[in-house]
């Protein structure tokens, strides 16, 4: 059996390892797009702050890890998939035969249609190379404009502040991390980052970037022009699916898969940020988060190896540390009409729980780290709350107590 895995992010690597574990004799080929050993984008901000070296981002730390497992690692990018002949063609012309194919090609940052984003000094922060580029330019005292205060924008925000730059964040939405935080939480985050000296312009759009002597000039629709030595673009990502054109593999936002993570083409699977997979709450979604990638990688591998394992669906969840204020979101936090909300502006703490009947379907929290994982447990195990629902409605911060009370009988 020959398995080819396109993409060497967490989903790809975990799938490769699980395939090896399940079948010691299988042929496993892992194709990575960058000139680096498989690494974690999650760790890039910590390279920028200098907390870790590049090696600290590597998904696996042991030298020769892939060789030792007999996983063949190839650098390249897929250009074409031909299911009829069981073949993947890479951009360099190399062709790989497969019996089972896993698409784990992840995503690419979006460049919005704003004039001047092709200029020197304007950059994404997505790869280790990007990080290196930014580190060189984001020096103490330099003017940096961060386009986008979404999740990715926020995880690099701290490292930019720590580097001592004059930071202005321009966000088109009315709040930060709008996909993982509601207006209340977004406002709290805004107050928090502004207290730490970050200039935050929400509901503001960058209209153009232009050269201005040695530096750049960032023009906005509402806040005038901003001088910049560096512009970091993080306005979102899109799944890497272009190479699937003509393959017959159905795509939507990402690669569409069933509950076994198999695509519309038999023998072709997808996992991780590229996969539009089953959502825990029903339906299918792209959930570009680390835990989902890990689960996808494992389940896809089991099915590729011939098992029949259904995925219950991923729970969207995120955790973010914004200059020391930690926010987390789980599931269907926007909720319906049955909610418990507790906020304390002075202490930057906020908890919101969304109920459906007797259980929790989503949650937001700000300013809390202790036992935060129980929110996943409460939601995903559909823990019946009984009398604890009332208690949580009065004081939603008692989630850990609720979880333990309802589960440790």
Q: Which is nearer to other proteins, 45 or 116 (CB)?
A: 45
Q: Choose between 120 and 346: whose C-beta lies nearer to other proteins.
A: 346
Smallest gap from Cβ 286 to other proteins, in A, equals 18
User: Whole-angstrom Cα distance, residue 110 to residue 127?
Assistant: 13
- The encoded tokens of residue 133 equal 């580029």
Measured between alpha carbons, how far is 33 from 76 in angstroms, rounded to an integer?
5
Longest alpha-carbon distance in the chain: 69
Task: State the minimum distance, in angstroms, from the CB of residue 397 to other proteins.
Answer: 4
The binding site for other proteins (CB under 8 A) comprises 10, 14, 40-43, 46, 51-52, 56-61, 290-291, 294-295, 298-299, 302, 307-312, 315, 317-319, 321, 324, 326, 328, 330, 342, 344, 347, 349, 351, 367-377, 380-381, 394-398, 400-401, 403-405, 407-408
Which neighbouring-strand residues pair with 225?
Answer: 219
Q: Whole-number minimum distance, CB 170 to other proteins, in Å?
A: 25
Provide the minimum distance between the beta carbon of 128 and other proteins in the complex, in angstroms, as a whole number.
Answer: 13
| Angle subtended at Cα 57 by Cα 70 and Cα 122, rounded to the nearest 5 degrees | 125
∠ CA(122), CA(226), CA(230), 5° rounding?
Answer: 25
Give the residue with the Cβ less far from other proteins, 1 or 59: 59
Write out the two tokens for 73.
Answer: 């690692």
Q: With respect to other proteins, which residue has the nearer C-beta, 77 or 391?
A: 391
Tokens standing for residue 407 = 């589960």
Minimum distance, C-beta of residue 326 to other proteins, in the bound complex (Å): 7
- In 10 A of CB 60, how many CB atoms? 15
Identify which of residues 266 and 409 has a Cβ nearer to other proteins in the complex.
409
Nearer to other proteins, 243 or 311 (CB): 311
CA 221 to chain centre: 29
Measured from the CB of residue 195, what is the shortest distance to other proteins in angstroms?
Answer: 15
Nearer to other proteins, 236 or 377 (CB): 377
Q: Count CA within 13 A, CB hemisphere, residue 386.
A: 7
Helical axes 290-304 vs 10-22, angle rounded to 10°: 30
């Amino acid at each position: 059996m020959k398995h080819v895995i396109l993409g060497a992010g967490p989903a790809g690597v975990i799938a490769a390892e699980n395939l090896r574990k399940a079948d010691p004799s299988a042929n496993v080929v892992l194709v990575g797009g960058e000139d680096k050993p498989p690494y974690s984008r999650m760790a890039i901000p910590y390279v920028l702050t200098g907390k870790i070296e590049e090696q600290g981002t590597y998904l696996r730390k042991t030298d020769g890890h892939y060789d030792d497992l007999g996983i063949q690692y190839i650098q390249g990018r897929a250009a074409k998939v031909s299911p009829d002949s069981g073949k993947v063609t890479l951009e360099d012309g190399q062709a790989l035969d497969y019996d089972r194919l896993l698409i784990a090609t992840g995503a690419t940052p979006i460049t919005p249609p704003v004039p001047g984003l092709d200029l020197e000094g304007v950059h994404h922060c997505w790869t280790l190379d990007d990080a290196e580029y930014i580190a060189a330019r984001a020096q103490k005292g330099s003017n940096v404009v961060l386009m986008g205060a979404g999740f990715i924008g926020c995880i690099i925000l701290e490292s930019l502040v720590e580097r001592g730059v004059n930071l202005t964040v321009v966000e088109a939405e009315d709040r930060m991390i709008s996909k993982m935080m509601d207006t209340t939480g977004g406002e709290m985050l805004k107050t928090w980052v502004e207290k730490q000296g970050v200039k935050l312009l929400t509901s503001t759009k960058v209209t153009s970037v232009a050269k201005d002597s040695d530096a750049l000039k960032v023009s906005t629709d509402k806040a005038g022009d901003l001088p910049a030595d560096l512009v970091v673009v993080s306005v979102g990502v899109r799944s890497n699916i272009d190479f699937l054109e003509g393959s017959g593999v159905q795509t939507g936002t990402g690669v569409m898969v069933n509950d076994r993570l198999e695509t519309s083409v038999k023998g072709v699977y997808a996992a991780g940020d590229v996969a539009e997979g089953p959502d825990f709450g029903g339906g299918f979604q792209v959930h570009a988060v680390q835990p989902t990638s890990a689960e996808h990688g494992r389940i896809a591998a089991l099915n590729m190896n011939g098992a029949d394992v259904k995925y219950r669906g991923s729970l969207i969840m995120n955790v973010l540390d914004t200059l020391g204020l930690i926010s987390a979101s789980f599931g269907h936090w926007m909720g319906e009409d049955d909610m418990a909300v507790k906020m304390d502006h002075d202490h930057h703490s906020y908890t919101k729980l969304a109920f459906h009947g007797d259980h929790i379907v989503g949650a937001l929290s700000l300013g809390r780290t202790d036992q935060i994982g129980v929110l996943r447990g409460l939601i995903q195990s559909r823990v019946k709350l009984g009398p604890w629902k009332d208690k949580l409605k009065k004081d939603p911060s008692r989630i850990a107590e609720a979880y333990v009370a309802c589960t440790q009988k």
